[in-house]
């Protein structure tokens, strides 16, 4: 019985993992489509593992036979790459729009494959359709396409089986047979005094904003409802829970991004800067770790069909506080002083955890009434055999100063010198 329960638990765990591992794949499809529709080459290239990712298109037998009437040397297989593929779209005489249907995803969290039907519209008419498949790998928390294969079929030769089943609102550009209804607004006539009211008529209103004066005639008045002013979505970036805060070098900074009512999981970040490690969490937040100090670095966020530029500020870890063990400078019991193992450099920044700053060297200075001043250099943060006798000799009334404290924090290029600290023993 226990084996059966264990098997069921493993099966349920695998099912949950399989579902979570496909998170973000739909975002790749959406960004791919938007990049083509917006002719955004930079956005398009961000989606691929390299600029030489192969694109392999295969003509169906019927389409190839018909196309050879105009291009006799046309081959059944068209081989290209991501850069050349996008250049052909830019060179097209009419605007190209792409739409996907019946998307299927499979992933184990590290590699993934996607298959779907596609349709390309050249201007308004349907220009090309077929089946497409991608292979992807996950790198730095983002899915990247490694290869693309697709079939090519022309609607003039083979009718598309899936576009005709969709309404005009469900495809990028509707076929010419699908016409959108025009919007109309009723006009209410105000009757003249002592005269019967005239018959109510309708006037077609286009998308522009008109004033009442443009539609006023003698004895009639149009009632127009004012359109509410469009609300502007606010783009917000929080670093470690604070707005307009800087990233800290050498630590894992949590970055939350929001844009109006958009799902944060659908906001994608792109960057070209090296020496920055980052990954995307399932809730849409990012973990960004600059591995070295820099003045700033720019990134781009893709959301709702828009590309928003943002420039992160990057700062080193703020100067840490020096503590003896976990005790702050000031008055201290002599027995407790002797029991402490050494100094610590502690940062108060919420993103900086212990261990990100280490003390390299300091000088121990003891001032005692019973014995003259004693001074010795200590290497490292813990008291060494050369300085331990001075520490163990601590008595009530002594004063200890830790001076010339040298420290280095994550991301620092050089060595910092911290302020001296003093302990008065009682």
Per-residue pLDDT reduced to its tens digit, 369-424: 888 889 999 999 999 999 999 999 999 999 999 999 999 998 888 899 999 999 99
pLDDT of residue 220: 43
* Nearest by Cα to 403 from 387, 425, 426: 387
pLDDT tens for 20-53 read 455 578 888 888 887 777 777 777 888 898 878 8
Which residues have CB under 8 Å from 10's CB, separation 6+?
Answer: none
Residues 276 and 414 in one domain: no
pLDDT over threshold 80, residue 308 = yes
Does one domain contain both 273 and 325? no
Domain stop point among 272, 292, 315: 315
Nearest by Cα to 22 from 116, 117, 143: 143
Global pTM? Answer: 0.45
Structural domain harbouring 133: 17-170
Q: Which of 205-209, 346-350, 397-401 has the lowest mean pLDDT?
A: 205-209
Residues 288 and 343 placed together within one structural domain of the fold: no
**How many structural domains comprise the chain?**
3
Tokens of 3: 């084996």
Task: Say whether both 338 and 308 belong to one domain.
Answer: no
> Quick one: pLDDT band at residue 71, thresholds 50, 70, 90?
confident
**Residue 400, class by beta-carbon neighbours within 10 Å (0-12 exposed, 13-18 middle, 19+ buried)?**
buried
33 and 163 inside one domain: yes
| Residue 163 confidence class, pLDDT cut points 50, 70, 90 | confident
Shared domain check, 258 and 346: no
Tell me the per-residue pLDDT of 82-109, one tens digit each, with 9 for 90 and over.
888 877 776 664 567 888 888 889 888 8
| DSSP state string for 260-327 | TT--GGG-EEEE--SSEEEEE-TTS-EEEEESS--SEEEEEEEETTEEEEEEEEEEPPPPPEEEETTB
């Amino acid at each position: 019985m226990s084996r059966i329960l264990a098997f069921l638990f493993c099966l349920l765990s695998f099912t949950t993992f399989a579902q979570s591992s496909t998170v973000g794949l739909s975002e790749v499809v959406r960004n791919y489509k938007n990049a083509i529709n917006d002719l955004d080459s930079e956005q398009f290239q961000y989606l691929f593992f390299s600029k030489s990712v192969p694109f392999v298109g295969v003509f169906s037998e019927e389409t190839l036979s018909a196309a050879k009437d105009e291009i006799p040397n046309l081959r059944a297989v068209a081989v290209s790459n991501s850069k050349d593929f996008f250049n052909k779209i830019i060179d097209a005489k009419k605007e190209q729009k792409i739409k996907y249907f019946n998307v299927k995803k499979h992933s184990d969290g590290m590699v993934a494959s996607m298959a779907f039907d596609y349709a390309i519209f050249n201007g308004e008419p349907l220009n090309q359709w077929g089946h497409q498949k991608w292979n992807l790998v996950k790198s730095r928390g983002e899915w990247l396409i490694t290869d693309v294969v697709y079939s090519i079929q022309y609607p003039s030769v083979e009718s598309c089986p899936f576009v005709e089943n969709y309404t005009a609102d469900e495809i990028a550009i509707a076929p010419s047979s699908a016409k959108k209804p025009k919007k109309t607004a009723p006009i209410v006539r105000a009757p003249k005094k002592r005269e019967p009211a005239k018959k109510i008529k309708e006037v077609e209103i286009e998308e522009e904003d008109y004033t009442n004066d443009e539609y006023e005639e003698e004895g009639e008045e149009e009632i127009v409802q004012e359109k509410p002013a469009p609300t502007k979505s606010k783009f917000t970036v929080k670093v470690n829970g604070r707005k307009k805060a800087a990233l800290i070098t050498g630590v894992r900074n949590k970055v939350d991004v929001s844009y109006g009512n958009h799902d944060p999981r659908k906001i994608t970040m792109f960057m070209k800067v090296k020496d920055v490690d980052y990954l995307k969490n399932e809730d849409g937040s990012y973990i960004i770790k600059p591995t070295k100090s820099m003045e700033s670095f720019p990134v781009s966020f893709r959301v709702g069909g828009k590309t928003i530029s943002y420039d992160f500020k990057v700062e080193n870890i703020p100067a840490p506080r020096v503590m003896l063990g976990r005790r702050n400078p000031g008055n201290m019991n002599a027995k407790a002083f002797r029991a402490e193992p050494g100094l610590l450099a502690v940062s108060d920044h919420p993103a900086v955890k212990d261990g990100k700053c280490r003390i390299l060297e300091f000088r121990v200075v003891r001032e005692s009434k019973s014995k003259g001043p004693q001074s010795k250099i200590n290497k490292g943060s813990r008291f060494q055999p050369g300085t331990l006798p001075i520490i163990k000799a601590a008595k009530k009334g002594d004063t200890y100063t830790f001076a010339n404290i040298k420290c280095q924090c994550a991301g620092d290029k050089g060595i910092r010198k911290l302020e001296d600290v003093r302990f008065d023993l009682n």
